[in-house]
Chains A and B, each alone.
Chain A
Amino acid sequence: MEILVCVKRVPDTAENEIEINSDGTDIERDDLVYSVNEWDNYAVEEAIQIRDKVGGSVTVVTVGDEESDEVLRREMAMGADKGIHVNDEALESTDGLGIAKALKAVVEKGSYDLILTGAQADDGCAQVGGMLAALLDLPYASLVNYIEVVDDKTLKIGREIEGGSQEISEISMPCVLSIQTGINEPRYVGIRGIRKVAGVDIPEMDLSELGLSEEEVAPRVKRLDYFVPEMGEGAEILEGDMEEIAEKLVELLKAKGGIK
C-alpha cells in the first residue's frame, strides 16, 4: 500500500509557555522548542505499522519553511521511506485551504492508496484533512483511532466520538483519514536514528513546481492578532512556602467537603 502522511512542525506546547509579543502580531517564537505535531506523529506510526503488515511504502510530506526539514527527517528516522518538502514564501501566509491545495498537488504527482493527516495541529482547526479529501473528491473520516486493512480496496476504521465511544465504518480506498492520538504507541526516535537519515536527499518543491499560482493560495481567512482576553477573576493563587500553601489548602478542602 502506498501511504502519504502530511505532517507539520509546531511549537511543542508541553514544553513551552506560549507568550504573545509586544504588539500582539505573533507569539514569541525565539525560545520555543519545536517538534512534529503530536497527532501527525501518531499518523506516521500508524502508516509504518500498516506498511510493515501489508507492504508498500510510506511518504511524509510537509508544507513549511527551511526548518521543517527537521520534522521530515525525524519521521523518516521513525521508519518513513521518503520525504517531500513543499517550501514557498507564498504559503507562509496562506490559510488551511491553501495548505490543502498544495497537498492536493503533491498527491496528484504520486499514486497513493491512503492519505493520513493528524486530526488537528497547534491552531486547533482540524481542517486540512477534510479539505484535502473534498478537493480530491475522496472519501474521508476524521478522528480515526482504529484502522484494519480488509482488502486492497477497503479499510475498517473506528472514529472516536463523544464519551469515549467508537464509531465503526468501512471506507473504500483511496481515502483520506485524520488520525486521533492514542491510536497506537509511537516508537521512540533516538539521536542515532536521526543521524542515519541526516544525509538523505529530500526533494523540495515550490508553488510553480506544484502548478499553483500565488492567487490560488491567497488566504480568505486571516488571523488578525493574538490576545489574552480579560477573563473573570480566575483562581485565587495561594501564596507562601509549600507548607503554608498546603495548610491553607487543607482548610479550604475541609470546608468544601474535599476530605472524607
Chain B
Amino acid sequence: MSREIFAYIEHADGVLDDSALELINAARKIDDSAKVVALVFGSGDALNKASEEAAKTYPEVWKVESASLTYPNAEVVRPMLVNLLPKGCVCLIPHDTFGIDLGPGLSVKLGASYLPDIVDIDKVEGDKMVVVRQEFAGQVHTHVECDMREGVVVTVRPGSFEADESKSESGTVVDKSAEAGEVDAKRKFIEVKEAEAGDVDITAADILVSVGRGIGEEENIEIAEELAEALGGVVSCSRPIVDAKWMDRSRQVGTSGKTVKPKVYIALGISGAFQHVAGIKGNPFIVAVNTNPKAPIFQVADVGVVEDLLEFVPVLTEKVKEMK
C-alpha cells in the first residue's frame, strides 16, 4: 500500500504561508510516489481562496470549514485532525508558533511518533525514517530515527526545504467538514495584540549593529551604540537582550521580532540561532564578532572576527572614525 502523507497548510486570510510550498518538497523527499494531501482549515472566502491556491501545488486538498476556525486555534484543529487522519499516516506541519502548539499533542492523540523541528530528511527505509535535527541552538546536528509503523507527526523548520513555485497541479478540493466534526475547546481565542512600534524602525535601516547575549552587561550596549553612530547605523538585538529587558522588543531581529533587510548587518556576540537568522532578509553583507569560532552565525556571515567584542568593537569604532 502506498504511503499517505498530509501537509498542514497555514494561511492568513486566504494567503498561503511560505511553508505551504516547502512541505510538498519535504513530502516528496520522504516518498516520491506517495499521495500528498493538503489540509486547509478556516472559514468563508478565506478558506475557499486558500484551498484553491493549495490545489495549484497539491493533487488533493481537504478543506475543513467551521466558524471556530476563523482564527487558527490548535486546540480546535487538533481533535478535528484526529477525526480525519487515517491511522499510520505521515503528517507534516510547519515548525512555527502554530505547529509547536499543535504537533506534540497531535502525535499523542494519533498514537504516532513525533519528530519536531526537522531540517532535512536523511532516508526512509521500511518502517524507519531518519531525519536531521539541530540541538543546542544549532551548535550541533543529530540524526534521529523514528518508528513509522503507527504513523508520524513531523514539524518542519521553515526555510529548510525549497519552495515549489511551479503551481503545476490542478488538484481536487474535497470538503471534509462533516468528518472533522465540531469542537468545543476549553481554550477560547479572544484577540491578537499587534506588536508595538518602537522609537526606531530597524526594518528601514541600511546598517544594523546587532547585539546578542555576548554583550554581557546592559551598560556594554553603549559600545554598540558608539559603533552604530560612527557607521551611521542603528542598533538592533537578538532575543536574550529583550528577555533581559535591556532593549525594547521593537529592536529585536528574528521570527519573534522584526524581519530586517539592511545592506550591512554586524552581529556582535550573537550565536546565530535559526530564529534570529530567519529575520535577516535581502542577502546583506554580514559581519560576525564572536569569541566562539563554532558559533552558527559564522556559517551565515560573510566575514568573521573571533575576538572578545568588548575589546574589539571600541578598536573598530576608532578605526571607522579615522578612516571614514
Contact = CB atoms under 8 A, between A and B. Distances in A.
Interface stretch (B23-31, B37-45, B189-197): B189-197
Interface in A116-135: 119, 122-131, 133-135
A140 to B, nearest CB: 6
A192 interface: no
B117 interface: yes
A97 B316 CA distance: 50
B134 interface: yes
Interface in A178-199: 181-182, 185
Contacts of B117: 124-126
Contact of A247 (B101, B186, B264, B319): B319
A175 B133 CA distance: 29
A56 interface: no
Which bracket fits the contact residues of A?
Answer: 35 or more
Contacts of B323: 247, 250-251, 254
A185 B190 CA distance: 26
B143 A236 contact: no
A250 B96 CA distance: 38
Contacts of A238: 303-305
- In this complex, which of A135, A160, A162, A247 has the most chain B Cβ atoms within 10 angstroms of its Cβ? A162
Contact of A170 (B130, B188, B266, B304): B188
Contact of B144 (A119, A164, A222): A222
A79 interface: no
Contacts of A236: 302-304
A229 B142 CA distance: 9
Contacts of A242: 307, 311-312, 315
B306 interface: yes
B298 A96 contact: no
Contacts of B145: 221-222, 224
Interface stretch (A11-19, A57-65, A84-92, A107-115): A11-19
A96 B100 CA distance: 14
A232 to B, nearest CB: 7
Given A123-B135, A165-B194, A253-B264, A129 B143 contact: no
Given A134-B109, A237-B298, A259 B239 contact: no
A252 B194 CA distance: 38
Contacts of A122: 135-136
Interface string B71-112: 001110000000000000000000011101101111111000
- In this complex, which of B74, B101, B294 has the most chain A Cβ atoms within 10 angstroms of its Cβ? B101
B174 interface: no
A260 B104 contact: no
B171 interface: no
Nearest to B144: A223
A127 B116 contact: yes
- In this complex, which of B104, B117, B190, B213 has the most chain A Cβ atoms within 10 angstroms of its Cβ? B104
B100 A143 contact: yes
A172 B188 CA distance: 9
Nearest to B95: A126
Contacts of A181: 239-240, 243
Nearest to B259: A163
Interface string A232-253: 1011111000110111011111
Interface in B247-303: 249-250, 252, 255-259, 263-264, 266, 271, 285-288, 292-294, 298-303
Contacts of A232: 299
Given A128-B104, A171-B187, A257 B315 contact: no
Nearest to A174: B186
B45 to A, nearest CB: 22
A68 interface: no
B255 A162 contact: yes
Interface of B: 73-75, 96-98, 100-101, 103-109, 113-117, 130, 132-137, 139-147, 150, 185-195, 206-207, 213, 230-233, 239-240, 242-245, 249-250, 252, 255-259, 263-264, 266, 271, 285-288, 292-294, 298-307, 311-312, 315-316, 318-320, 323-324
5 contacts: A141-B101, A142-B97, A164-B252, A235-B299, A235-B301
Interface of A: 11, 13-14, 17-20, 27, 96-97, 100, 119, 122-131, 133-135, 139-143, 156, 158-172, 175, 181-182, 185, 220-229, 231-232, 234-238, 242-243, 245-247, 249-254, 256-260
Q: Shortest 4 CB-CB distances between A and B: which pairs?
A: A260-B232, A130-B104, A258-B264, A235-B304
